[in-house]
Amino acid sequence: NFARPGGRCRHNEAYWDCRPWEAFGPGAARFNGRTRITNHRSTTTWIKRLLAAEDATGEVETMTAEEAARERLVVGLRRRAGVSRKAFTKASGFSVDELAKAALARWQRAGLAEDDGETVCLTRAGLLVSDSLWAEVL
């Protein structure tokens, strides 16, 4: 999020863009855009299950389309570049205003967010307190 221009970690961009990703091993998580699957965290249990040809999955969390859109919005707002309204709607099927119009208006009045009509982003002050804002969106 605070990398110099051209210095972003391309690997991490998949997480920040909410793109699907895979991971392998004990405790590893994979994500398909709506479902997050985490392998069993215990290495011993994970290995025993694999050797027995059993499922080594520990936890499964499936989000509704709206929950996934809300998570995408929060993750996007954590980035300095913020959220492109058009790209967000295309990717999620929801508009930014459908999910957070009132919260964004409050944040703007408090100097925590900016909205130029195309992109919504947190200000420097908003980024500093961002963890306290997410409950209004999630």
The confidence score (pLDDT) of residue 120 equals: 98
The confidence score (pLDDT) of residue 14 equals: 77
HEC assignment per residue over the chain:
CCCCCCCCCHHHHHHHCCCCECCCCCCCEEECCCEEEEECCCHHHHHHHHHCCCCCEEEEEECCHHHHHHHHHHHHHCCCCCEEHHHHHHHHCCCHHHHHHHHHHHHHHCCCEEECCCEEEECHHHHHCHHHCHHHCC
The confidence score (pLDDT) of residue 12 equals: 77
Q: Could you read off the pLDDT of 75-112 as tens digits, one per residue?
A: 999 998 899 999 999 999 999 999 999 999 999 999 99
In angstroms, the CA 13 to CA 11 distance is: 6
Q: Average of pLDDT values for 22-47? A: 93
**What CATH class does 65-136 carry?**
mainly alpha
> Residue 21: beta bridge partners?
31
The confidence score (pLDDT) of residue 40 equals: 94
Q: Where are the domains positioned within the chain?
A: 10-62, 65-136
Share of the chain above pLDDT 70, in %: 99
Looking at the predicted structure, is the pLDDT value of residue 1 above 60?
A: no
The confidence score (pLDDT) of residue 130 equals: 94
